[in-house]
Structure 1
Amino acid sequence: MSVENIKTDKELKGAYLTGERPLFHGKKLHIEQTIFNDGESPLKESRDIVLENSSFQWKYPLWYSKNIEARDCTWLEMARSGVWYTDHIRIEDTLIEAPKNFRRCHDVTLDNVYLANAAETFWNCEGIKLAHVRARGDYFGMNSTNITIDDFKLVGNYAFDGAKNMEVHNARMLSKDAFWNSENVTVYDSVIHGEYLGWNSKNLTFINCTIESLQGLCYIENLKMINCTLLNTTLAFEYSKGINAQINGRIKSVMNPSEGRIQADEIETLILDPEKIDPAETEIICPTVGEKLDKAPEA
């Protein structure tokens, strides 16, 4: 069932609910202006629920639920681990302060949502759609699949570790170790600041992106970069193969790419160590190369 077509036959308005599982197994409920105060799992095992102008203030509000729509709602900090094992949920115009949200869920849509404490959020989920989302917290999106994102801002390290089948548009991310161990990820029109970007990933593509990274874009299999800018990016591309990188402007330093093609206007320092890689396997197209080294400088 699509959440846009949820049919409810019972209304609950202006309630103040306490205690454990007050609406356990609730079905076809339209809930408005309601506070779920202390007490765990208020809507566990619920089905076909519409929530408006309501707040969750304690743990585990939506577990093992299906067909949920929430608008203009609030998850307070203690509503942690809020949505687990839940399928077909859409949340709009909502503030979520609670961490560890969205685990092992399917078909999750967030539109205009602020995740103020998004630590360990969106783990092992499938079918995620995020639009106009702001988030702060480490380990966002771990091991999730089939993800589409547009207009996204994140402050938090280790984002999207192990993510698969992902498309990102118009993002701004301050994130160390983003996209590690990921597969089939394409990022468009985005800005990413963070060390060690993309290690151990496969089929990673950046289009019209601006990136700043220390020792980023390394250990990647099939890396594509189209019309990208690398600001203050050092020791890039180490042991990456299948590189097809078209970089505007300068790359501060490139170190030991395994195989592929790197095009840039300038490379300040190019390190190709024949004891580590075969320099002939990587085509360097660059009119201005400053320092050329066959060994990495001593740390």
Structure 2
Amino acid sequence: MESINQQMLTGERALFKSRDLIIKDSVFADGESPLKESCDISIDNSIFKWKYPLWYCKNISVKNSSFLEMARSGIWYTHHISISDSIIEAPKTFRGSSDIHLTNVDMPNAQESFWNCKDVYLTNVTAKGDYFAMNSENIKIDNFRLVGNYAFDGAKNIEIRNAKLLSKDAFWNCENVTVYDSIIIGEYLGWNSKNITFINCTIQSNQGMCYMEHLVIENGKIINTDLAFEYSTVDVEATTVIDSVKNPISGKIQAKNIGELILDDQEIISANTQYELDKAGEPCDL
């Protein structure tokens, strides 16, 4: 393979349609789309300073590198890419891409990243920015930190482990989501979604988990959460007091207690939801 070492690369499409290339200790300065339409590229300890660095690419490996803020909209329509031990400061990274592997990556400006992507694998990733992973599918995440609203809107087939999500309106319009051993903080969690499961999670959400079909919570801590489960079908096992529950459609809610149970919609058949309170599982006196 040809190697490029310690080069300052400038100008539009500096390495357009490159093949079988190793790039080390180099800087991509001013000039859009430096590696557009390239494939089989290995990049190590390099810096991207300008827009659209990796569009329409295939088989890309990036290690110990940095995408600065102006390398925005940097990786679109690219397939089979791995990035490790790197910083992606640029927003709007990853659109219409697939087979994406990130390991030990910081994304301090992840606004509108991972849109319409498939087969996304994130390990030890931190991100900050709204609209993360909108309309993406087949996502597996482990050890993840996210600060940003509207995360995963419209996404499906998601598995998340060991995460902390500070996100208003997270998991809206989703299908087939399982979250393990995580903390989720933010209002209006999970509206209009189906087949959503939280296992060993801590949830704090104002008016959370409403308009949901087949919501499952196993061994969950539901704290400072009110008006929960409105118009949802549920199978909830909480180890805490739930502040208030409003008009669930059907299912079972087990909790240490419910501060306020609101059943004020005459079209909802209250008997379709079973309530079990305290550790002995005694039925709620409706």
Q: Which of 264, 276, 282 pairs up with 2:255? A: 264
In structure 2, the residue matched to 1:100 is 92
Identical-pair percentage: 58
Query: Amino acid of the residue matched to residue 240 of structure 2?
Result: G
In structure 2, the residue matched to 1:203 is 195
TM-score, normalisation: structure 2 = 0.97
Cα distance between partner residues in 1 of 2:240 and 2:175:
28
**Kept in 2: contact 1:225–1:247 (CA 8 A):** yes
**1:114-193 to 2 correspondences below 5 Å:** 114-193=106-185
Q: Which segments of structure 1 move beyond 3 Å, counting only runs of 4 or more?
A: 287-292
Offset of residue 276 of structure 1:
4.1
Query: Amino acid of the residue matched to residue 277 of structure 1?
Result: I
In structure 2, the residue matched to 1:78 is 70
Where 2:196 maps in the other structure, the secondary structure is strand
Offset of residue 290 of structure 1:
9.8
Offset of residue 87 of structure 1:
0.2
Query: Amino acid of the residue matched to residue 249 of structure 1?
Result: T
Cα distance between partner residues in 2 of 1:83 and 1:175:
24
**Kept in 2: contact 1:40–1:58 (CA 8 A):** yes
Offset of residue 275 of structure 1:
1.6
Cα distance between partner residues in 2 of 1:276 and 1:232:
28
Runs (5+) with no aligned partner, structure 1 = 1-8, 293-299
Question: Does 2:241 match 1:250?
Answer: yes
Where 1:280 maps in the other structure, the secondary structure is helix
Q: Please, what is the CA RMSD of the aligned residues? A: 1.3
Output one character per residue of 1:64-96: Cα deviation in whole Å (capped at 9) or x when no partner. Answer: 000000000000000000000000000000001
Where 2:59 maps in the other structure, the secondary structure is strand
Query: Amino acid of the residue matched to residue 228 of structure 1?
Result: G
Offset of residue 114 of structure 1:
0.3
Query: Amino acid of the residue matched to residue 262 of structure 1?
Result: I
Cα distance between partner residues in 2 of 1:189 and 1:276:
36
Cα distance between partner residues in 2 of 1:33 and 1:289:
66
Question: Does 2:275 match 1:284?
Answer: yes
Offset of residue 198 of structure 1:
0.3
Aligned length: 283
**Kept in 2: contact 1:80–1:100 (CA 8 A):** yes
Output one character per residue of 1:4-45: Cα deviation in whole Å (capped at 9) or x when no partner. Answer: xxxxx1000000011100000011000001000000000000
Cα distance between partner residues in 2 of 1:83 and 1:163:
19
TM-score, normalisation: structure 1 = 0.93
Output one character per residue of 1:238-280: Cα deviation in whole Å (capped at 9) or x when no partner. Answer: 0001x11000020000000011100001101011124241111
